[in-house]
Amino acid sequence: MTAPIPYGSWPSPVSAADVASASTRFDGARFIGEEIWWAQSVPEEGGRMAVRRRRDGRTADVLPAPWSARSRVHEYGGGAWCAAEDGRLFFVEGSDQRVYLLGTDGAPTPLTAEEVGTAFGGLVWASGRLLAVRERAAASGGERAIVEISLDGAGARVVARGDDFVAQPALSPDGRRLAWIGWNHPDLPWDRTRLHVARLRDGVVFDEISVTDGAASALQPLWTGSDELLYLDDTSGRWQVQRVRPDTGERSVLTHDDADTGGALWTLGMRWFAPLEDGRIVAVRTNGEDSVVVIDPADGTIRSVGVDGASQTFLEDARGTRLLVTTASASAPLGLWLVDADGAAPPERLAGDDLSALEAWLPAPRAMTADGVHGPVHAYFYPPTHPELRGPDDELAPCLVWVHGGPTAHVGPAASRKIAYFTSRGIGVLDVNYSGSTGYGRAYRERLRGQWGVADVDDVIAAARHLAAAGLADPERLAIEGGSAGGWTVLSALTRGDVFAAGVSRYGVGDARALVADTHDFESRYLDGLIGPLPETADVYIERSPLTHPDRFRVPLLILQGTEDRVVPPAQAEAIRDALRHQGVPHAYVLYDGEGHGFRRRETTIDALTSELAFLGEVFGFATDAPELPLSIGALRIADGPDGRTVRIDPESDTVHAERDLRVVVSREPLRPLFARPHTSGWAETLRGAGFTATADDPDLFVLLPALDGE
């Protein structure tokens, strides 16, 4: 092993371009004839969703560029394609949200009319019929419905409607009944839904009943006979597989263990279980980590399936004993796998990144549980890992504390190039499942009810302190990063605590009231449960919002934002930037043209990662291989000069000049004073005239004390 190298500066074989190329997303997989089809993002093609097929070991595109199968229903989409056994592909084109048919020859042809404000998703092909969820914006009627799309171009007709939101239509084998789930404001599908069943007459529902009472979250109805239905429900506090006969109301619970088969229905194509032809059921079970199991309802036995999956696991399709599973594990990133339920053949990876060449650089995740104010806090720690290098004996590693979005998302112990990008350079990563996360049951999820901005913040602080107390990270070099709802927690933690020395916010929420006013309908009442109903609890919204307390922003912040984000519009990011400018807090604001809520383009991923690494190096004082990222300071009362004057950069008049000419660096010292490196003689003279002196070893690096108001 070579001589120690400072943490953060280790040379790494993992580049930002590698991460971007491997940032694959999937949207379903199916057995189609003798082939396997799936949808997968292509980062190098602008993040478009391609539908691909595999046969005899060869992979080819079914849906060629520039077509992209992407739905915008509920903004997050999902279920943007399905296919008939004869090879006809039905898909939602991302650019116009129309449904198209691509036959075995020729170009795609539209099946639905071009209609502004209308989107389709959750496509299902069953018994020769094409079903979908149709969403119309308020200007077009403001309705969601289950529709049947004619194959002759006649458009879509409504099959079922009535709830504010609908999802997961399932047609019975004889084609005479339809099951689906629905829910109404202010609930989200992980709060309360109803499972509806109705008979069909001339393609329209009648004699409708609710199989569940709407007190819990019912998900994923699947018919196993003309009068037998499987579905998921968490009435027990965990999502369990249930069976019901709608005609008689007879029902039974098929699983009883302390784990979830189910999760937050953010996208329409999510599936957690599938029945096998012999009556057994294959299901994903989650209790922190995922596993895939075979359930035999005849004797109640549950047996593990031999697939190395621990996170982001979905049961996409089953035929015979063959399964299509998307999953990630500690040794393999997210990918699509062909698995045999009985172990007749070894699992085969069909798509996804291959990290075998980086095995020596992959960190081994460690499950950690911290004692929190609201109960135990679960997290996974990825330590700095390098086969040849180590850090100095007298130095602890910096660490990134990751806060997932949702806030009802869930993280498990999974390998990824993004994690390795940091850990292979000597930066630890702590991935936290804070209060509100799925994967630990309803009680853990509902710890966040009414407590968003409190319980989540307490939890990430508890996890970070736990890590530092264990001697696994430098307590003075803890940074917090998150996107969307995770970005809210980042900003809240920076304004409500002093644990973190820096933050990275990706399209984070800074003003809860603005989020309610600006966001899309699916999440427009989300905060009723997370904070409280408006206008009754308006004072709580004001108090909780980070932008209410701009004076509390004290540590450097990197803000990453897309121009086309309709969930958290750029106005929120720019309000945060302006608050940082006013307070004189070092920051960088990077706006990506054409990006929405979640970055998709390869070039964006590369720039965001290198910007983050450069930012951490700048703040924590280590050299990096990333391009320099100058930090802006905006309006900064640098300090009082000897004659009592204040040197000030005014945001209205001098911001551009200041941000170009006066670079701010943050010290690693406990008090974190600021330094300035002027790039023009004018600024150098201004600083000298105000009584500031340069450091002993660098005549162009001026010490600014006090660094911030109150320090």
Tell me the per-residue pLDDT of 521-533, one tens digit each, with 9 for 90 and over.
Answer: 999 999 999 999 9
Cα 709 to Cα 550: distance, rounded to the nearest angstrom: 12
How deeply is 591 buried, as exposed, middle or buried, from its count of CB atoms within 10 A (0-12, 13-18, 19+)?
middle
DSSP string, 13-79: S--HHHHHHT---EEEEEEETTEEEEEEEEGGGTTEEEEEEEETTEEEESS-TT--B---TTTT---
DSSP string, 414-482: ---HHHHHHHTTT-EEEEEE-TT-SSS-HHHHGGGTT-TTTHHHHHHHHHHHHHHHTTSS-TTSEEEEE
Across 96-112, average pLDDT: 94
Helix (H) or strand (E) holding 82: strand 81-83
Rounded to a whole number, what is the distance in angstroms from the first to the last CA of the chain?
42
Across 369-381, average pLDDT: 97
Beta strands 428-433 and 399-403, pairing class = parallel
Helix (H, G, I), strand (E, B) or coil at 263: coil
Cα 607 to Cα 597: distance, rounded to the nearest angstrom: 16
Cα 558 to Cα 501: distance, rounded to the nearest angstrom: 12
Whole-model pTM: value is: 0.87
Looking at per-residue pLDDT, the higher value among 333 and 193 belongs to 193
What average pLDDT is seen over the chain?
Answer: 88
How deeply is 497 buried, as exposed, middle or buried, from its count of CB atoms within 10 A (0-12, 13-18, 19+)?
middle
**Matching residue, tokens 């992980």:** 190
Strands (E), 162-277: 165-171, 177-183, 194-201, 204-210, 219-225, 228-233, 240-245, 250-253, 273-275
Which residues face 302 on adjacent strands? 295
Which residues face 156 on adjacent strands? 149
pLDDT at 711 over 50: no
Do residues 399 and 11 touch, judged by C-beta distance below 8 A?
no
Most confident range, picked from 133-142, 171-180, 641-650: 171-180
Q: Give per-residue pLDDT as tens, 458-497.
A: 999 999 999 999 999 999 999 999 999 999 999 999 999 8
CB atoms within 10 A of CB 387: 10
Q: What's residue 306's pLDDT?
A: 81
Percent of all residues in the chain with a pLDDT value above 90, rounded to a whole number:
69
Across 656-677, average pLDDT: 41
Q: What's residue 697's pLDDT?
A: 62
| pLDDT band of 536, cuts 50, 70, 90 | very high
| pLDDT band of 704, cuts 50, 70, 90 | low
Across 505-528, average pLDDT: 90
Q: What's residue 706's pLDDT?
A: 37
Cα 279 to Cα 184: distance, rounded to the nearest angstrom: 34
Looking at per-residue pLDDT, the higher value among 686 and 27 belongs to 27
DSSP 351: E
Beta strands 502-506 and 557-562, pairing class = parallel
* Structure token digits, residue 607: 């720039």
Helix (H, G, I), strand (E, B) or coil at 338: strand
DSSP H helical ranges for 545-653: 570-583, 602-620
Residue 507 Rama label (left phi>0; alpha psi -120 to 50; beta): left
- The values of phi and psi at residue 524, to 5°, are -65, -25
Do residues 677 and 702 touch, judged by C-beta distance below 8 A?
yes
Do residues 325 and 307 touch, judged by C-beta distance below 8 A?
yes
Cα 48 to Cα 195: distance, rounded to the nearest angstrom: 33
Span of 160-174, 219-233, 435-449, 616-630 with lowest mean pLDDT: 616-630
| pLDDT band of 680, cuts 50, 70, 90 | low
pLDDT at 227 over 50: yes
